[in-house]
Amino acid sequence: MALLSPPNVPIWGHSARAVRSNTTRRAAGRCGLMFMHLVATPRFGLAPFHHPAHADWLWLRLRETFPDALAACILWNHIHLVSTYVADSASLMGKILGGFARRVGRPGMFHAAPPPRPIPDRKHLQRTVRYVHLNPCREGIVRDPMSWPWSTHRGAIGAEFDPWVAPGRMQRELQWRTRDFPREFHRHVSSDPSAKVDGTPFPAPAQPRINAIVPLDMILAAANSATPWASRALSRKLAHQLAKEQGWADSPQLARALGVSRRTLRRWSEQPKLPAIVYPRLCLGDPRLFSRPAQLTPTVVRAAS
């Protein structure tokens, strides 16, 4: 269904499916917008998302509620979300934060979510997406946007299986005409004094090895980082494939590391390689992609980065 817009105010965005209801469609028509920037903060200077488990829980709820988001980032004390226009976005965010507050036993810990800020055009959309992905660097937490796991940046550069925002989607929405979007997009985002003025290097995949030199804990960390929202079964299969590429045999040591039997390893070895192996291979090739802090607070993470 075509969107209605006021005279001389074009509707822009990828499709009408992001505008879910008649109410939202009329609102989008009135303001001529398809994207918004939503920010949420706690009261009293709290840091409610300091624990990785809290950030994981929140990330999954945000993804379920705003599947058409284009950029997101969770820091220890605030959230950024760039999404297609949703009329009741502030109310939806409030419900998520209310559920989180009850989960941790601190009702009323968040300010009421303010109305989303409209993004007027694609130029501002590019700036806003870059701002959201650079947030961990500008806060002094990490030195590279790809080092922060609670951000859509890793997915947008093709370093994550089943990402919230895939490279193709990001490229379509930003209307970038380039043959190597992930590399160009990462350079665009990371070219900042908070990271590196001329941009940080794009990751390169790990190359196969004959001898088992790479420690198993690194291989497991790479597989887990590449599949943060996938099933444990898939993560273990990919870790097994990656270990085999790195020279590990189906040994009792590998079976113990993966928590399976040697018989299971032999069965997996007889199966075709999973196409998703490209993601853990890329993560293993660059330690920036499997960093996962024990705390999200700036002092702890800055010291480890």
Residue among 208, 179, 43, 36 at smallest CA distance from 110: 43
Report, as an integer, the average pLDDT of 231-252.
Answer: 93
Q: Which residue has the higher pLDDT, 87 or 217?
A: 217
The total number of residues shown for the chain amounts to 305
What lies within 8 Å, CB to CB, of 125 at 6+ separation is 35, 70, 82, 119, 173, 174
Residue 30 has pLDDT above 60, yes or no: no
- Where along the chain do the CATH 3.30.70.1290 domains lie? 16-190
Whole-number pLDDT of residue 17 = 36
User: Nearest 5°: phi and psi at 37?
Assistant: -120, 120
Distance CA 276, CA 7 (A): 47
Percent of the chain whose predicted confidence (pLDDT) is above 90:
61
Report, as an integer, the average pLDDT of 262-284.
Answer: 94
- SS in 3 state form for the chain? CCCCCCCCCCCCCCCHHHCCCHHHHHHHHHHCCCEEEEEECECCCCCCCCCHHHHHHHHHHHHHHCCCEEEEEECCCCEEEEEECCCCHHHHHHHHHHHHHHHCCCCCCECCCCCCEEECCHHHHHHHHHHHHHHHHHCCCCCCHHHCCCECHHHHCCCCCCCCCCHHHHHHHHCCCCCCHHHHHHHHHHEECCCECCCCCCCCCCCCCCCCCCCHHHHHHHHHHHCCCCCHHHHHHHHHHHHHHCCCCCCHHHHHHHCCCHHHHHHHHHCCCCHHHHHHHHHHCCHHHHCCCCCCCHHHHHHHC
Q: Which residue has the higher pLDDT, 198 or 300?
A: 198
pTM here is: 0.83
Q: Which residue has the higher pLDDT, 202 or 114?
A: 202
6: left (phi over 0), alpha (psi -120 to 50) or beta: beta
175-220 pLDDT per residue, tens:
999 889 999 999 999 999 999 999 999 999 999 999 999 999 999 9
Lowest mean pLDDT among 42-46, 85-89, 298-302: 298-302
Whole-number pLDDT of residue 3 = 27
52-63 pLDDT per residue, tens:
888 899 999 999
Map tokens 């690194």 to a residue: 218
Q: Which residue has the higher pLDDT, 54 or 237?
A: 237
Confidence class of residue 44 from pLDDT cuts 50, 70 and 90? confident
CATH of the domain spanning 16-190? 3.30.70.1290
Residue 11 has pLDDT above 60, yes or no: no
Whole-number pLDDT of residue 101 = 86
Handedness of CA 17, 23, 26, 30 (dihedral sign): negative
Average pLDDT of the residues of the chain: 84
Report, as an integer, the average pLDDT of 60-69.
Answer: 94
118-175 pLDDT per residue, tens:
998 999 999 999 999 999 999 888 999 999 999 999 999 999 999 999 999 999 999 9
Using an 8 Å Cβ cutoff, are 34 and 13 in contact? yes
Distance CA 288, CA 305 (A): 9
Lowest mean pLDDT among 17-21, 64-68, 171-175: 17-21
Whole-number pLDDT of residue 276 = 95
Confidence class of residue 21 from pLDDT cuts 50, 70 and 90? very low
Residue 228 has pLDDT above 50, yes or no: yes
Q: If you compute the radius of gyration of the chain from its CA atoms, what whole number of angstroms results? A: 21
